[in-house]
């Protein structure tokens, strides 16, 4: 009796692990696929409020896929070997319940995904994107449903199971490799993050310069004149070199903020939802200066035009 209880518990948790990792793998696969489709088929109306794709979502989906898919495949391989060695374990009462539950949840995921796809299509998404996303969703659904329905009917032999699992592995590995060409390597992601920190620091400096100008009616001669409480070393120095950001006063109330960047955002920021920023802060790789102007004060505004009746 104790052995049957242990066997039932083992089967239950293996099926539960397999089911949960299947859900996460399917969601991750579709997340990555959809973002790659968005990247490869750009939207001409993309701007800072309507972006093509999100490298952040792409990285999240990629991370989920790298972790959950091997666990799912490993659990299915383990279950297959276990049932081949001990066929009587297939009589476990909860086995079919868990498999039907897996199909039910998978169906909900597919239905919700298709609803979202149709909604974006009706909102004006280009037809090629719509077709590819729909085909990807249907392909994932067909793979999951055919595999589990065969397993429920005991129609999976060793060869059939291997074909399913190996084809899933090959397609997923190809997808993962292709994703790295879009999001870049971890080293490139680090450079993008550092550039984002530099832009954020320059924006903080601009804010303090405007506060200084509002109070003193003139631009500061150097960054050292800014509020020392608000402006720490991390705000005015490069996170890698430790050198102070460049600041130059031009004619009148115009000035420039300069930094040395590692990446070029002028070609990607407009399309990438994870890099949403104003066009004022897009930059090429290398040393670059942003031209800024001091804010207009109360007496600097041009006189209002009076309407003659």
Read off the DSSP letter of residue 304: P
Beta-carbon neighbour count of residue 240 at 10 Å? 12
What is the rounded average pLDDT of the residues 90-100? Answer: 80
How does 270-293 read in b/e, with b if 16+ C-beta sit within 10 Å? Answer: bbbbbbebeeebbbeeeebebebe
Q: Tokens representing 222? A: 């150097």
Average pLDDT of the chain to the nearest whole number? 83
Q: Where are the beta strands (DSSP E) in the chain?
A: 246-249, 254-261, 286-293
| Tens of pLDDT, residues 282-304 | 889 999 999 999 876 654 444 44
Q: How far apart are CA 138 and CA 224, in angstroms?
A: 60
The region, left, alpha or beta by phi > 0 then psi within -120 to 50, assigned to residue 252 is left
| Tens of pLDDT, residues 155-179 | 778 888 889 989 999 999 999 998 8
Distances (CA, A) of 246 to 59, 257, 284: 33, 6, 16
pLDDT of the residue at 231: 67
pTM for the whole structure:
0.73
Alpha-carbon 301 to chain mean position: 43
């Amino acid at each position: 009796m104790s052995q049957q209880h242990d066997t039932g518990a083992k089967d239950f948790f293996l099926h539960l692990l397999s089911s949960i990792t299947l859900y996460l793998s399917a969601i991750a696969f579709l997340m990555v696929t959809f973002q790659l489709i968005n990247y490869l088929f750009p939207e001409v109306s993309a701007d800072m409020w309507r972006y093509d794709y999100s490298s952040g979502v792409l990285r999240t989906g990629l991370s989920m896929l790298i972790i959950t898919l091997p666990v799912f495949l490993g659990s299915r391989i383990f279950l297959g070997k276990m049932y081949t060695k001990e066929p009587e374990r297939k009589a476990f009462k909860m086995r079919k319940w868990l498999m039907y539950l897996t199909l039910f949840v998978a169906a909900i995921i597919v239905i919700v995904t298709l609803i979202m796809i149709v909604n974006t299509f009706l909102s004006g998404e280009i037809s090629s994107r719509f077709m590819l996303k729909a085909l990807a969703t249907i392909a994932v659904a067909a793979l999951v449903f055919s595999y589990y329905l065969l397993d429920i009917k005991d129609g999976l032999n060793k060869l059939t199971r291997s074909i399913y699992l190996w084809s899933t592995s090959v397609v997923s590995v190809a997808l993962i490799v292709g994703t790295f060409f879009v999001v870049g390597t971890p080293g490139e992601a680090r450079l993008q993050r550092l550039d984002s920190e530099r832009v954020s620091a320059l924006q903080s400096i601009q804010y303090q310069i405007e506060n200084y100008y509002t109070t003193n009616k003139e631009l500061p001669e150097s960054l050292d004149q800014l509020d020392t409480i608000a402006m720490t070393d991390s705000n005015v120095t490069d996170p890698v070199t430790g050198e102070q950001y460049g600041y130059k006063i031009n004619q009148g109330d115009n000035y420039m903020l300069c930094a040395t960047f590692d990446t070029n955002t002028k070609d990607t920021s407009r399309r990438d939802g994870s890099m949403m920023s104003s066009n004022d802060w897009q930059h090429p790789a290398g040393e670059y200066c942003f031209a800024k102007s001091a804010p207009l004060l109360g007496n600097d505004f041009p006189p209002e035009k009076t309407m003659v009746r």
